[in-house]
Amino acid sequence: MVKPVQSTEPGTPHLHRSVGFYGLMFVSLGSIIGSGWLLGALKAAKVAGPASLLSWVLTAVIMATLALVHAELGAAYPMAGGTARFPALAYGVLGGFAGGWVAWLQAVALAPVEVEASLQYLDNITWVKQHLNLLHTGGETLTASGFAWASLLMLVFTVINLVGVKLLSESNSATVIWKVAVPVLTVVVLLSLRFHPGNFTAGGGFAPSGAHGVFAALPVGVVFALQGFEQAVQLGGESRNPQKDISRAIITAMVIGTIVYLLLEIAFIGSLDPASIAKNWDNPITQGSFGPYATLATLAGAGWLAYILYADAFVSPAGTGLLYLGTSSRLSYAMGKERVLPKQLGKLSVRGVPVWAILLSFVVGEIMFLPFPSWQDLVEVITSATALMYAFAPVSMIALRKRDPERTRPYRAPAGHVLAPAGFVAANLIIYWTGFEITWKIMIAIVVGFVLFLIARATTKPADRLPVDWKAVTWVPVWLGGMVLIAWLGRYGDGGELKALPEWWDLVVVIVFSLVVFYWAVSLAVSTDKVRAAIERETEELVAHG
C-alpha cells in the first residue's frame, strides 16, 4: 500500500493525518445533504410525478455502484485529491489531468452554488427581503448587497480551510448532525399531520411521464442531491487510518443519505394538496417554490417547523459549500503536485494546508457568483461534470488491478469485473440523460482545461515536466466526442437534440458504446513499471506523520 513517509526534517510542510472515521463519514454525508434535499423532491416530482421515487432508487443504485469503486481506490491509494490521482496512476499525467480537471470544475462550482442557494432561501423571510436586499426582482440573481453577503460566507469558508483540515472536519461534524436531524424531523411531522395516499396515483397515475420521466428526473436534482460520497476520498492524504476508514465512511454515508432522501420524497408527495396535482404535476406547489417543505409544513399547521426549515435552508447549503471549497482546493493541490497546473498550487504551509489552492478556489468561487440563468441550469451542469468525474474511477480501478495486482487492497469491491463496467455505463447514462445542451458546454470547458494544461507545461522547466503517455489517453477524446454525438442524436434535454434515436434503443446505444470504450481504455493503461514508478514518486513526496 501507499505508506506515508515520516518527515526527516522538523517543520517540513506536510498534510496532517488527523481525520478519523467519523470525520470522513461526516465529510461525505455533509456533502450529500445540502441544498439538494430542500429542492430535489419538488424538481423530480414535476418531471416524473410519483414515479420520482423510482428515480431516487435508480440513482441510489448507480451511486452505490460508483461508491464501492471509490471505496476500493481510496483505501488502496489514500492520496489528497484522490479523484485526480487515480487516473494519473493508470493513464499518466494527462489522464490524471483530465480526471482531475472535471472533478475540480464540479467541486469549485458547488461552493458558490450552495452559498447562493442559502441566500435565495433566506430571501423568503420577510425581514430579510425588506432589509438585506439580497436578490434582484425575480429572485434568481444577487444584488450588490447579496454579492457582499455571499463573499462574506466564502471568506469564512476560506478562513476555516486555511486554519486546517482538523477544524474543517470538526466544524462539519456538528453541522451534519443538524443537517440529518432536520430532514428526519420533517419526514416525521409531515407523515403524521398531512399524508394523502391517493397522491401516489393522482395526476395521470403513478408514472404520468412513463420511463422517460423517471430517467429525465435524474439530472434535474436527484443525482445532484445524492452526489458527494467521494469527499472522503479527497481527504485521503489527511486520514488518520485511510486503509480502514475511507471505505467504511463512504458506504455508511451513502446508506444514510439514500434512506433520508427516499423518506423525504415519500413525505413530499404524500403531503401535497390533492387539488394541485389532480390534473398534472406541472405545478405541485403553487407558492413557496424555492422552499417547498416550509410551505407544506405551514399548510399542515406546523408553522414552527417552517422556521426550522428556513434556518436549515441556510445551514445545509452553507455547510456543503464549506466542504466543497476545501475539497476543490485538494484537487488543485493534487494537480499542482503533478505539475499539470502551476506548481505553487502543490505547495503546503507549515500547518500542512494547501494555501494557494484554497485561495484559488475562493477567487474562482467569487467569479461563479456572476449571474447564471437559474439554479436548475447550474445543477444540470454540475451533474454532468460529476458523472464525467465518476466515470474515470471504474476504468482506473480495473486498470490498476491489472497493472498493480500485488498491492494490498484493504477493501475490495465485490464482483469488481462486473461492478466497474456497470459503473462506467451508469455514469455515461447520467451524462446522456442530462442532454446535449449541457453536455457540449462541459466538453468546451474540458477543451479549455487542455489548453491550460499545455500552457502550464510550456511554462514549466523541462526537468520538472512529467512525461506524457499520449497513447494511454487516446480513448478519452473518442469517449467524450462519442457522448456528445449520442446526446445530439438522443431524446433527453431541452435544446438541440434531434430525437433521432428511438426510445429504449437510445439507451442500448449508450450501453454498447460505453462497454466498448471501457474495455479499450483498460487495455491502454500504462505499463506496470510506469504505474509502480508513479506510486513510488507519490510515496516519496507524501510526507506525513504516521
Q: What is the pLDDT of residues 127-144, one digit of tens each?
A: 888 888 887 776 567 788
Q: What is the pLDDT of residue 248?
A: 84
Helix ranges (H only) for 459-527 are 475-489, 505-523
Strand partners of residue 239: 19
In the chain, % of residues over pLDDT 90: 36
Give the whole-angstrom CA distance, residue 546 versus residue 77. 16
Cβ atoms < 10 Å from Cβ of 414: 9
Higher pLDDT, 196 or 539: 196
Strand partners of residue 49: none
Contacts of 90 (CB under 8 A, 6+ apart): 395, 396, 399, 400, 403, 472, 525, 526, 531
pLDDT at 545 exceeding the cut of 70: no
What integer is the mean pLDDT of 45-61? 94
Say if residues 79 and 542 touch (Cβ distance below 8 Å). Answer: yes
Higher pLDDT, 118 or 389: 389
Give the whole-angstrom CA distance, residue 43 versus residue 222. 8
Say if residues 74 and 232 touch (Cβ distance below 8 Å). Answer: yes
Say if residues 151 and 316 touch (Cβ distance below 8 Å). Answer: no
Give the whole-angstrom CA distance, residue 540 versus residue 3. 9
Q: What is the pLDDT of residue 546?
A: 40
Say if residues 542 and 2 touch (Cβ distance below 8 Å). Answer: yes
Higher pLDDT, 422 or 355: 422
pLDDT tens-digit profile of 162-179? 665 555 555 556 777 888
Distance of CA 283 to the CA centre of its chain: 28
Give the whole-angstrom CA distance, residue 112 versus residue 213. 29
Minimum mean pLDDT range among 10-14, 121-125, 495-499, 511-515: 10-14
Nearest to 483 by CA among 438, 419, 423: 438
Cell of 200: 401516489
What integer is the mean pLDDT of 482-511? 92
In the chain, % of residues over pLDDT 70: 82
Q: What is the pLDDT of residue 9?
A: 45
Give the whole-angstrom CA distance, residue 183 versus residue 200. 21
What integer is the mean pLDDT of 509-519? 98
Whole-model pTM: value is 0.84
The three state secondary structure string of 335-402 is HHHCCCCCHHHHCCCCCCCCHHHHHHHHHHHHHHCCCCCCHHHHHHHHHHHHHHHHHHHHHHHHHHHH
pLDDT at 241 exceeding the cut of 80: no
Give the whole-angstrom CA distance, residue 426 versus residue 511. 8
3-state secondary structure of 467: coil
Cβ atoms < 10 Å from Cβ of 418: 11
Say if residues 433 and 386 touch (Cβ distance below 8 Å). Answer: no
For cell 426549515, what's the residue?
A: 309
For cell 515536466, what's the residue?
A: 465
Mean confidence (pLDDT) of the chain: 82
